[in-house]
Amino acid sequence: MLELTRQGPVFVLTMRSGENRFNRRFVDALNGALDEVEGSAGPAALVSVGEDKFYSNGLDLDWLTSEGSAQGPEFIAAFMACLGRFLALPIPTVAAMNGHAFAGGAMLALTHDFRVMRADRGFFCLPEVDIGLPFAPGMSALIQGKLDPSVCRDLMFSGRRIGGSEALALRVVDEAADAEQVLPRAVARAEALASKERTTYGAIKQRLYAEMIRLLAGGAA
């Protein structure tokens, strides 16, 4: 489901669950990986990446409407808390967006400090307006905090898909690269910052993203 490896000081979190949709098992696995990263010592950074054509396609709606239906708001709160952990992680983070990043998967990418996206294939998309799922306050705060205002408005109201080159032009991502260069470029960005002192780096995030972190911790209310 997940594989956590190291390339020098850089932890590489590879999501290996097909479309990498968020259900209870997947979120628990992400939290376990974050526990390991946070428990490490010395210089460190984190890169997340998917496989094949998916970075992450968001919430596992099939699970949520079947065996996970009883967990409902409790699970959404846990998912948002997990996003908050990525956002506040006291080390540099880079999303290596190897493929589609939809809905919650797009939000996961936005929690990272930097984003490198595949230029030729794969979409970034916030489709909630078309699937009847209003953004929870923490989700809205995250998107508003990470995207330029007009881009935030357009993507949230239209639900349209944008590829890597357009995402770069709109400053949704920091770099668009060929498929085979997405992960190496993300690792290089992470490694360049891995020596930053954790307490200071984490404090900067806590103050910069204070409202986002607070609202994500508040769950779906």
- What's the confidence (pLDDT) of residue 70? 86
Local structure of residue 19 (DSSP, 8 states): T
- What's the confidence (pLDDT) of residue 71? 87
* Beta-ladder partners of 94: 47, 114
Domain carrying residue 61 = 2-217
- What's the confidence (pLDDT) of residue 221? 56
Q: CA neighbours within 13 Å on the CB side: how many for 107?
A: 29
| 35 in Cβ contact with 46 (< 8 Å) | no
Residue 181's domain is classified under what CATH number?
A: 3.90.226.10
This prediction's pTM: 0.97
Please list, in sequence order, all residues whose beta carbon lies within 8 angstroms of the beta carbon of residue 126, skipping any fewer than 6 positions away. Answer: 102, 103, 106, 107, 143, 155, 156, 159
Q: CA neighbours within 13 Å on the CB side: how many for 149?
A: 0
Total of domains in the chain = 1
- What's the confidence (pLDDT) of residue 138? 96
Q: Which of 130, 74, 140 is nearest to 107 (CA)?
A: 140
- Average pLDDT, consecutive stretches of 10 residues, N- to C-terminus, the chain (221 residues): 97 97 97 98 98 96 90 93 98 98 98 98 97 94 98 98 98 98 98 98 98 89 56
Please spell the DSSP secondary structure of 117-167, one letter per residue. EESSS--EE-THHHHT-PPPHHHHHHHHHHS-HHHHHHHHHH--EE-HHHH
